[in-house]
Amino acid sequence: MKPARSKTPRKLVVKKGSQTSLKDPVGVYCRVRPLSFLDQECCIEVINSTTVQLHTPEGYRLNRNGDYKETQYSFKQVFGTHTTQKELFDVVANPLVDDLIRGKNGLLFTYGVTGSGKTHTMTGSPGEGGLLPRCLDMIFNSIGSFQAKRYVFKSNDRNSMDIQCEVDALLERQKREAMPNPKTPSGKRQVDPEFADMITVQEFCKAEEVDEDSVYGVFVSYIEIYNNYIYDLLEEVPFDPIKPKWNSCSTPMRNTDFVPPQSKLLREDKNHNMYVAGCTEVEVKSTEEAFEVFWRGQKKRRIANTHLNRESSRSHSVFNIKLVQAPLDADGDNVLQEKEQITISQLSLVDLAGSERTNRTKAEGNRLREAGNINQSLMTLRTCMEVLRENQMYGTNKMVPYRDSKLTHLFKNYFDGEGKVRMIVCVNPKAEDYEESLQVMRFAEMTQEVEVARPVDKAICGLTPGRRYRHHPRAGPVGDELLVTEMVLQSFPPLPSCEILDINDEQTLPRLIEALEKRHQLRQMMTDEFNKQSITFKAMLQEFDNGVLNKENYIQGKLNEKEKVISGQKLEIERLEKKNKTLEYKIEILEKTTTIYEEDKRNLQQELETQNQKLQRQFSDKRRLEARLQGMVTETTMKWEKECFQPDQNVPPLRLRHRRSRSAGDRWVDHKPASHVQTETVMQPHVPHAITVSVANEKALAKCEKYMLTHQELASDGEIETKLIKGDVFKTRGGGQSVQFTEIETLKQESPTGSRKRRSSTVAPAQPEGAESEWTDVETRCSVAVEMRAGSQLGPGYQHHAQPKRKKP
């Protein structure tokens, strides 16, 4: 009767991102390939195991006026030109395969310019297998004896796995083997000699820890990203001889032509992981089978001959190794038929197409479009890395543009904490690739600053370990148990003969009873000794348990203290981060305010310069006006002097018509120059009690209170204009007399044919602004005075003084 099956414990659910506080930087390694020719100029030098140095080539120094600059870049590890594939694998890929067997994901990609050795590093060459065949070899060396039978695991279209019982798997194997052209490669086939040397690895490599109570299955898939479209390189395109095929020119194709595969779409599974929908996944059981599948897809990959590389990859290739593991049941005989207990881990090996400049590759047509798409996808990868680094360094939350490229969208989960990320930067040290290598180094240096969340550990199923070998005990422990039992039996006294031949035999039974009693006594003594030792051992165990418990309590107390300290430090860090953000925000505001103030300062400085220039112009105009007025004053002074010192002339008598002055009550000095001409106007100036003089003298001024100067000039219309300049006479401190002019009366005669009428006004006519005349307005005329010194005649010594006009109260 088969024993009752124990109930499978529930799988522990580990929340995604429970260890997000632990992060690891992206591991970036550098590999320098050897030069193709010994006489080539080298621009990259390996300084030590972690640093390389770039030298500016001679040609660039001449083009840049002899500018010589050496730049050093650091990596996690640098592999020189003599590094073997095995050394590179042990450092870079071996830890990723070890994590794969433990249920963790990994991403490894090669990056560099065209012709830098990326494909050689990933795939290898005859006799020097690359990272991909070595990863496959390590996987199958580790799980070889624990693999499930074919078709026990079955992939579906939802990026997960279904599990079948042994009977269903057997039926499907028989069905597949009956097909004429089985899709799954057989392990009994002979290895293709084309790649036999590439998968022959001399060094045996195996993972250290493999769960013996689980069964494993390996599935591989191979895709390429070409012109930002995803193609399945393992897809078998069915051939239909009836339905015609159409090419890109919308013309029918021959039935013998190859129909290219359809592009695939990216989907998101229930765990928010990205996968290629409808991608072919092939179950493999050995390194030879897996590499045969890879080689079949490699022949479909797009390569082309460019000016820089004879076989240049024109697409990004992604080879996925998916490891499926499920625990055995409680009996250790069959696979546990629970889909929730399946663990799926994946290792993605990516061979990126080389970045290149089209002016160097001489690309045209399709090659030019391919190069543009390659550079665009690599630029998107670089942008994603920059945004990730900025978000982590400055605490921002910018959206990472994963969706701008199929390459970054496919691997977004790795950068969000779904596995380790490793990058191998391949460089060619020749001088012609200096600028491209410089850009690659800068990208690699920036990528090292990006941190990826550490993946969570695989959940423990909860079944008893050692189930696989429970019903198949090993030789060592059984032999030890038999030896102990034999030693215990030999310590008992031997039993006497129990054969009774005579009915009267009275010795055999007593001897047997005596031997059994001795054995019983010995057994009792051994039991008592065992009990004593058991009690002693229990006491020791109890003491040990107490010691362990005390140590656990002590450690737990220390851990609690450490957790409190860590919590306090976290709170302090959060406070400082908030303070830092606040200060950054204030600094940003101050920078903006400073920018505004600087702009205002520049505007005010410009306005100040404009006003200064305007003041300079006004000052220049003022100086010119002062010079002009000074000239006018000088000219007027000379004119008055000439009139004042002009000799008397005999003027024929004219018929005078006197006009009574408005100021007849005061005594006047009537100063009429010798050049005075009598006019025939009806209204004539007449001042009673006036002393008439032709030249002003001190004696006449001392007797009068008023002074009147008759001035005549020729108007613009040819008529004589008479001006009566009147003023008050004052005594000066020097004993002389001074005159302050107060007003001017004008008498003018006009022709009746003119448009203007004759007029007599006591107000001088207005003159245009800036006119050159000795009298500009009444205020100016009335502010001029004549001062005579005591005992002097009114001659060349008189002076003009600008004095304000006295106003009547």
Cite the annotated binding site by residue number. 112-119
Separation in Å, CA 70 to CA 31, 53, 259: 19, 7, 52
φ, ψ of residue 422 to 5 degrees: the values are: -130, 140
d(CA 715, CA 765): 12
d(CA 704, CA 691): 8
Binding-site positions for ATP read 112-119
d(CA 356, CA 379): 12
d(CA 657, CA 637): 32
Spatial CB neighbours of 707, under 8 Å, sequence gap ≥ 6: 668, 669, 671, 696, 701, 726, 727, 728, 729, 739
Partners of 71 in the beta sheet? 54
**Count of other CB atoms within 10 angstroms of residue 109:** 22
Which residue in 733, 727, 731, 664 sits closest to 702, CA to CA? 731
d(CA 169, CA 726): 140
Which residue in 660, 694, 806 sits closest to 740, CA to CA? 806
Residue given tokens 């030098």 in the structure block: 45
DSSP 683-747: S-EE-TTEEEESS--HHHHHH-SEEEEEEEEE-TTS-EEEEEEEEEEEE-TTS-EEEEEEEEEEE
149 token code pair: 């039978």
Residue 346 one-letter amino acid: Q
Q: Classify residue 673 as exposed, middle or buried by CB count within 10 Å of its CB (0-12, 13-18, 19+).
A: buried
Separation in Å, CA 653 to CA 136, 650, 676, 683, 689: 145, 9, 11, 17, 22
For residues 28-55, one letter each, b for 16 or more C-beta atoms within 10 angstroms of the residue's C-beta and e for the rest, the string is bbbbbbebeeeeeeebbebeeeeebebb
CA-angle at 155, arms to 153 and 158, nearest 5°: 140
709 token code pair: 């100067």
Partners of 393 in the beta sheet? none
503 token code pair: 């009915």
* Signed CA dihedral, 169, 170, 172, 177: sign only: positive
d(CA 348, CA 368): 28
102 token code pair: 């433990």
**Count of other CB atoms within 10 angstroms of residue 298:** 19
The radius of gyration computed from the CA coordinates of the chain, to the nearest angstrom, equals 59
3-class DSSP assignment, residue 495: coil
Which residue in 406, 350, 417, 356 sits closest to 381, CA to CA? 406
160 token code pair: 């997960």
Spatial CB neighbours of 805, under 8 Å, sequence gap ≥ 6: 740, 742, 779, 782, 783
CA-angle at 345, arms to 18 and 12, nearest 5°: 45
Spatial CB neighbours of 25, under 8 Å, sequence gap ≥ 6: 448, 449, 450, 451, 452
